[in-house]
């Protein structure tokens, strides 16, 4: 794995490399949002939005598939938090695209960056972290269902 971003801390690790790598990778995007928003760097903000959709499509699907296979008890609440992320990002994206002035676009970017930071750290520490003790169950699945363990 390449160097992890500076604000990352070890309690955010699930000790399960496939998910940890996706989290670290998205965290890098989250960390790019605030400086991009404050300098009105909309080229980077466009990439941040694309990466959010990519994260929702790939990472959430990956995590939800694992939760299903290991009979994770909190799956419903966890999926609600994923849905909440998709809803917020979609709303921000619509406001961003429809902004009438550059000031408006920057204001939406700042709110998006704030949401990303709060949601990402909050979700990882309160939801994703609950998965940690259950991930050991993956070791007991038949090989074709075995996720790199």
Interface positions with Fe ion (CB under 5 A): 63, 128
Alpha helices in 55-130 (DSSP H): 61-69, 75-98, 102-126
* Smallest distance from Fe ion to CB 89, Å: 14
* Smallest distance from Fe ion to CB 39, Å: 28
Say how far apart CA 113 and CA 38 lie, in whole Å: 9
* Smallest distance from Fe ion to CB 137, Å: 17
Q: Which position's Cβ is nearest Fe ion?
A: 128
Say how far apart CA 39 and CA 119 lie, in whole Å: 22
Say how far apart CA 145 and CA 68 lie, in whole Å: 12
Identity of the residue, 36 or 63, whose beta carbon is nearer to Fe ion in the bound complex: 63
Identity of the residue, 63 or 70, whose beta carbon is nearer to Fe ion in the bound complex: 63
């Amino acid at each position: 794995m390449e160097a992890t971003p500076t604000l990352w801390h070890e309690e955010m690790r699930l000790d399960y490399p496939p998910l940890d790598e996706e989290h670290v990778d998205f965290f890098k995007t989250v960390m790019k949002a605030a400086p991009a928003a404050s300098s009105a760097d909309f080229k980077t903000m466009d990439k941040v939005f694309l990466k959010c959709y990519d994260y929702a499509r790939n990472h959430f699907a990956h995590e939800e598939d694992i939760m299903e296979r290991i009979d994770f008890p909190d799956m419903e609440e966890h999926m609600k938090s994923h849905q909440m992320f998709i809803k917020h990002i979609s709303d921000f994206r619509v406001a961003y695209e429809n902004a009438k002035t550059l000031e408006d676009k920057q204001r939406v970017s700042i709110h998006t960056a704030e949401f990303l930071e709060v949601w990402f750290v909050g979700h990882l520490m309160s939801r994703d972290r609950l998965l940690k003790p259950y991930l050991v169950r993956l070791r007991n699945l038949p090989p074709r269902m075995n996720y790199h363990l």
